[in-house]
């Protein structure tokens, strides 16, 4: 009798800005089909990766010179089948490194100052409008799009050709003179709308303004250029079981899977994988992505040893 196994891949993706920025999470549906077999036992083996958390929450994750900076991650896996099952999970890691360091970018328009500071503003008159997002004065890094939808006025930053957004600063005023400036030019740090980002490719603001009249818009950003994605994570990122996570999970360095060995997971039961990721002082600037892949196998007929012969659980 052949054991029944089901696989869930790309359960959850966490995009992590290694040097600056926040975090984003995306949930993916299971795409798992058990292999056809006329000798399968009755019942189903199925599960879902239903959620993820991280602590401390969104914010800057800065490596230091003499110590590691760590964050804790928790994935929840639920047995949605009708059979008891054993579980294992694996991290699929990639890093998208930064090719060009931070560049100042502005929505293309008219300069505040004829010489020196090249900060710009443009005018919105109520019609949908798109202006180039110019990095370092001469590089087309994306677009700033302005319009009105069913939610009201919006200003959307979009990048192209591998550029990503690290910071945005936006000011929208009915009078040009109301945009914060000093004798040297505009002062983005004093703009009404501003945010730090985890090297994203788009971001939208919804400023409070009278969209029926002429608007003066100063759209500033700090952007970086990314290189190609590698298939392995930075060597400077270390994963380990979080303190207090218990003894249910065992890591097997031979195949790089985490095995849940404490007991079979009952139908409807939830288990968690609590891991801590630590960055050291030499971690490169970039966007770090980790995907959780999971597998479940039935408890009966010694399936775990047939399907996962190198498992470290030591079960009969």
CB 58 within 8 A of CB 22: yes
Mean pLDDT of 231-254: 77
**Which two tokens mark 151?**
């939610």
Asked if the peptide bond before residue 24 counts as cis, ω within 30 degrees of 0, the response is: no
**Phi, psi of 157, rounded to the nearest 5 degrees:** -90, 135
Q: What tens digit of pLDDT does each residue of 21-60 get? A: 222 222 222 223 333 333 333 467 777 777 777 676 544 4
Query: Which of 254, 279, 213 has the alpha carbon at shortest distance from 71?
Result: 279
State the average pLDDT over residues 178-204: 92
Predicted confidence band of residue 178 (pLDDT cuts 50, 70, 90): very high
**Cβ atoms 12, 54 nearer than 8 A:** no
Q: Could you tell me if 272 and 66 are in contact, meaning their C-beta atoms sit under 8 angstroms apart?
A: no
**95 or 223: which carries more pLDDT confidence?**
223
In DSSP terms, 186 is beta-bridged to 181
Per the CB < 8 A criterion, the answer to whether 3 and 301 are in contact is yes
More confident residue, 158 or 87: 158
For residues 315 and 300, the answer to whether their CB atoms sit within 8 Å is no
The backbone torsions φ and ψ at residue 8, rounded to the nearest 5 degrees and listed phi first, read -125, 120
Contact 258, 250 (CB under 8 A): yes
- pLDDT of 307 reads 85
The pLDDT tens digits for 117-129 are 999 999 999 899 9
The predicted structure's pLDDT at residue 39: 33
pLDDT at 213: 84
How high is the pLDDT of residue 111? 96
- The stretch 54-78 carries a mean pLDDT of 66
Checking if the pLDDT of 227 tops 80, the result is no
Average pLDDT, the chain: 78
- pLDDT, tens digit, for every residue of 246-276? 668 999 999 889 999 888 889 999 988 888 8
Query: What dihedral do alpha carbons 231, 13, 103, 133 form, nearest 10°?
Result: 120
Q: How confident is the model at residue 189 (pLDDT cuts 50, 70, 90)?
A: very high
- With a pLDDT cut of 70, the percent of the chain lying above it is 72
Beta bridge partners of 145: 130, 156
- What's the gap between Cα 50 and its chain centre? 17
pLDDT at 247: 67
The two structure tokens encoding residue 88: 């294992």
Q: How far apart are CA 230 and CA 40, in angstroms?
A: 40
CB 292 within 8 Å of CB 75: yes
Most confident of the ranges 196-205, 243-252, 273-282: 196-205
pTM attached to this predicted model: 0.58
pLDDT at 119: 96
Tens digits of per-residue pLDDT, 134-156?
Answer: 999 999 999 999 999 999 999 99
Rounded CA gap, 198 and 288, in Å?
A: 10
Residues 242/275, Cβ–Cβ less than 8 Å: yes
Q: Which two tokens stand for residue 313?
A: 């659980």
| Distance, CA of 59 to chain centre | 12
Lowest mean pLDDT among 49-53, 157-161, 178-182, 200-204: 49-53
Provide the pLDDT confidence category of residue 66 given band limits of 50, 70 and 90.
low
Q: How many CB atoms sit inside 10 A of residue 261's CB?
A: 18
Q: What is the DSSP letter of 176?
A: G
Contacts of residue 256, Cβ cutoff 8 Å, sequence gap at least 6: 90, 91
pLDDT exceeds 70 at position 11:
no
């Amino acid at each position: 009798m052949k054991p029944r196994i089901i696989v869930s891949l790309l359960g959850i993706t966490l995009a992590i800005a290694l040097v600056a920025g926040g975090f984003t999470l995306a949930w993916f549906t299971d795409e798992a089909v058990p292999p056809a077999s006329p000798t399968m036992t009755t019942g189903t083996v199925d599960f879902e990766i239903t959620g993820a958390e991280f602590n401390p929450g969104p914010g800057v994750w800065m490596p230091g010179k003499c110590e590691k900076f760590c964050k804790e991650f928790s994935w929840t896996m639920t047995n949605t089948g009708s059979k008891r099952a054993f579980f294992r999970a694996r991290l699929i890691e990639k890093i998208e490194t930064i090719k060009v360091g931070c560049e100042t970018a502005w929505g293309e328009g008219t300069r505040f100052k004829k010489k020196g500071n090249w900060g710009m503003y443009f005018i919105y008159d109520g019609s949908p409008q798109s202006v180039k997002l110019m990095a370092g004065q001469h590089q087309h890094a994306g677009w700033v799009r302005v319009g009105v939808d069913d939610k009201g006025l919006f200003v959307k930053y979009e990048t192209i050709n591998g550029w990503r957004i690290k910071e945005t600063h936006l000011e929208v005023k009915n009078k040009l003179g109301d945009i914060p400036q000093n004798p040297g030019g505009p002062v983005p740090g004093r703009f009404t709308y501003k945010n730090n980002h985890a090297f994203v490719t788009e971001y939208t603001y919804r400023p409070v303004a009278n969209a029926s009249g002429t608007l003066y818009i100063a759209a500033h950003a700090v952007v970086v250029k990314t290189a190609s994605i590698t298939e392995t994570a930075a060597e400077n990122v270390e994963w380990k079981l979080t303190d207090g996570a218990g003894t249910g999970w065992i890591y097997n360095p031979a195949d790089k899977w985490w095995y849940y060995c404490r007991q079979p997971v009952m139908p409807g039961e939830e288990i968690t994988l609590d891991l801590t990721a630590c960055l050291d002082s030499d971690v490169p600037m970039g966007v770090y992505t980790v995907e959780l892949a999971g597998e479940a196998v039935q408890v009966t007929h010694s399936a775990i040893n047939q399907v996962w012969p190198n498992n470290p659980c030591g079960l009969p």
